């Protein structure tokens, strides 16, 4: 059974600092990796996706993928109070697979 593991938190980070969120996955055949942000009472919002080993940057967000270690991370630079949310890591295998989600990390940015 495919599993995606995340630390549930809460992870508390001071405003302006770097928030680091981590995720491990069990299926070595996984091909695509996604980070979603979910505010309380709202649906998940896609913020980053990565398909190849290495880093991918988009504004204040950097996704990092290490397939050998089966590890994905998300860095948020210059954290803002509006970044306070639950961050969901999702993994997709090759072919017609649905996304397998972690339970999410609750991030709190302290002003």
Partner 1 sequence: KAGVTQTPRYLIKTRGQQVTLSCSPISGHRSVSWYQQTPGQGLQFLFEYFSETQRNKGNFPGRFSGRQFSNSRSEMNVSTLELGDSALYLCASTHDILYNEQFFGPGTRLTVL
**Residue ranges that bind partner 1, judged by CB under 8 A:** 32, 34, 36, 42-46, 49, 88, 90, 92, 96-104
Pairing of strands 19-25, 61-66: unpaired
What minimum distance in Å lies between the beta carbon of 111 and partner 1?
Answer: 27
48 or 79: CB nearest partner 1:
48
Q: Is 75 helix (H, G, I), strand (E, B) or coil?
A: strand
What minimum distance in Å lies between the beta carbon of 83 and partner 1?
Answer: 19
13 or 88: CB nearest partner 1:
88
42 or 81: CB nearest partner 1:
42
Q: How far apart are CA 83 and CA 97, in angstroms?
A: 29
41 or 111: CB nearest partner 1:
41
- Give the Cα-Cα-Cα angle 6, 60, 11 (nearest 5 degrees): 35
Q: How far apart are CA 83 and CA 27, in angstroms?
A: 29
What minimum distance in Å lies between the beta carbon of 42 and partner 1?
Answer: 8
What minimum distance in Å lies between the beta carbon of 96 and partner 1?
Answer: 4
83 and 109 in contact (C-beta within 8 Å)? yes
């Amino acid at each position: 059974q495919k599993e995606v593991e995340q630390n549930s938190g809460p992870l508390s980070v001071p405003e302006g600092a770097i928030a680091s969120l981590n995720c491990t996955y069990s299926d070595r055949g996984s091909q695509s990796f996604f980070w979603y942000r979910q505010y309380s009472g709202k649906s998940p919002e896609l913020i980053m996706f990565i398909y190849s080993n290495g880093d991918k940057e988009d504004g204040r967000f950097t996704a990092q993928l290490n397939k050998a270690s089966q590890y994905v991370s998300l860095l948020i630079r210059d954290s803002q109070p509006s970044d306070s949310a639950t961050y969901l890591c999702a993994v997709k295998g090759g072919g017609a697979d649905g996304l397998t989600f972690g339970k999410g990390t609750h991030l709190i940015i302290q002003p």
